[in-house]
Amino acid sequence: MNSKIKLHGFNNLTKSLGFCIYDVCYAKTPEQRAEYIEYIDEQYNADRLTDILTEVCDIIGANILNTARQDYDPQGASVTILVSEEEIKAPDEVDQSETPGPVPESVVSHLDKSHICVHTYPEVHPHDGICTFRADIEVSTCGVISPLKALNYLIHELESDIVTLDYRVRGFTRDTEGHKHYIDHDINSIQNFIGDDILEQYDMIDVNVYQENMFHTKMMIKDNDLNNYLFGISTDELDDDEEKEIHDKLRKEMQEIFYGRNMP
């Protein structure tokens, strides 16, 4: 599939990138846990999420057709933006190689008849002090552009402890001879679209179904500095036993999310 495919009419393939990002922290008291929820709701309310996605649209060169936003009670928010491309590019002008996309300073891409959406889910454990924040994001495009080229930018912008990524190409498009094509670019792993600086920060595993054009990657941060996971306190306020207990709780929480199952 290295040679360019001459298509009949518009490229009808749908390419969808969906991913969840998780931030995990520890808040010692009920008051600190309540402050954590307030902090997350303020930092990721519908207006700010709209600003973030609007900036993404500007960076990738997309026109916003419609925006829907909503804050929820007691917490959480959703934003969906319908977009179209600014400038139509010919298929042979689009980079479809299996390489990392650009970093935030230099992202240029185009979307056509597409959407970007995000939903947030702040949550606290009522007894254990563990707090999690999940953002569920989807970038769906039609045509020659793959949303994987925006992945490097999005991971840079949304630094997280755990990331789960799903990429799927759906439908088919026809070439000028009438033959159907169910994918129009090479891909062995989502990891090949992620920059080396990110790859070095995470442990990763793949679960791919190549014959169905479905690709899945899970990422877990290697960082073990406890101060990066404490809300309202620091390690200076903990004795050695308490520090180890909190560290073990946080690592267990991240491993359970990463592997998708509860651990004893």
For 231, other C-beta atoms within 10 Å of its C-beta total: 16
**Active-site entry in 114, 140, 146, 160:** 114
Query: Does the annotation count 119 as an active-site position?
Result: yes
- The one catalytic residue in 109, 119, 140, 146 is 119
Q: Please indicate whether residue 114 is annotated as part of the active site.
A: yes
Find, among 101, 160, 152, the residue nearest to 135 by Cα. Answer: 160
Q: Does residue 142 have an active-site annotation?
A: yes
Q: How far apart are CA 190 and CA 22, in angstroms?
A: 18
List helix spans (H) across the chain: 30-43, 46-60, 151-157, 196-199, 240-259
Nearest Cα residue to 12 out of 138, 168, 149, 175: 175
- How far apart are alpha carbons 10 and 164 in whole angstroms? 31
What are the phi and psi torsion angles at 23 (to 5°)? -110, 135
The catalytic position among 110, 140, 142, 146 is 142
* Catalytic residue set: 114, 119, 142
